[in-house]
Each structure stands twice: as structure tokens, then as C-alpha cells.
Amino acid sequence: MIERLDSVTAVTTLVSDRIYAVNPRQHPVTPYVRVQRISSPHEQHLRGPHYPAAYRFQVDSCAAESDGGDPLGVVQALAAAVIGNGLGPEASGLFGWIGTLGGSPMTIAVSNVELLHAGEPEFFPDELRMMRVRMDFLFYWSPLG
């Protein structure tokens, strides 16, 4: 999931390389994206795992007033970039994307990424005065090779 977000120009334009797995570092520079796997039900039958597997991910777009700009506008633009246009292999974000992701230990074929929940901006009145949009995606994949 992070590999895919790293390849989305609209996302990296806003956050550079600030795409974190599970937790950002302490006092992170904003805006940033946080990715967390929520569940990974994997069906099994007597001949082995059943594919495609469906993993659920939560992706948060985050911005803060300390950036000096409009955190609501930034967090909404970032969420829109993460979601994209849903056009399968030509998708501009995660929603509807179909393709391959490579890495260790295997390369996988992604057969579809569904958007389960697009979220609403949330405000946290702590010291950072953070805005966040939570999005849920269902990620269908099968191993290659």
C-alpha cells in the first residue's frame, strides 16, 4: 500500500516522502499520510490459501495549523489525492487501482482496491491543532509466481 502511494504524484507533491506505516515519528512534519492494516481475513481450504485475499487498510491524511496554511483545505486535497479517480489500471490514487506491487518476499497482483469509507475531516484541539480524514480501503491481492 505504501509502495502504491509513493508512486502517486498528487500525494507525493503534498507530502513528499512522509508516508508512514502505523505511526509517524514523534512531532511529525505535516502534512503526512498514515497507513495501517486493520484486518487480513484469509480464507483457507484443504488445498491451501484461497486467493484473492482481501486486506482492509485505514489510510489517514493529516495536516496541522502549524503548517501556516489552511489545514482543512490541505487535508481535503490530500484525501482526494489518496482516493483518486477509480479508473482501474489508470487510477490516479488507491480507489479502483489494479496493478502489481513488487518487493520482498514476493510480487503480488492487485485485482482491485475498494473504497469502503471516505471519511469526514476531524479536528483535534491539542497542541498541534491537527486535522485528519480517515479512509478505509479493501485491498484484493494474489501472489505472482
- CATH number of the domain within which 38 lies: 3.30.2000
Query: Would you write out the chain's pLDDT as a tens digit for each of its 145 residues?
Result: 899 999 999 999 999 999 999 888 887 889 999 999 999 877 788 888 888 999 999 999 999 987 777 889 999 999 999 999 999 889 999 999 999 998 777 799 999 999 999 999 988 877 668 899 999 999 999 998 7
CB-based burial, 45-81: b 16+ in 10 Å, e otherwise: eeeeeeebbbbbbbbbbbbbeeeeeebeebbbbbbbb
CA-based Rg of the chain, rounded to a whole angstrom? 16
Total domains in the fold of the chain: 1
Q: Find how far residue 40's CA is from the centre of its chain.
A: 15
**Cβ neighbours, 10 Å, residue 129:** 14
Domain extent, residue 61, equals 2-143
Q: Which amino acid is at 14?
A: L
**Helix and strand numbers, DSSP H then E, in the chain:** 3, 9
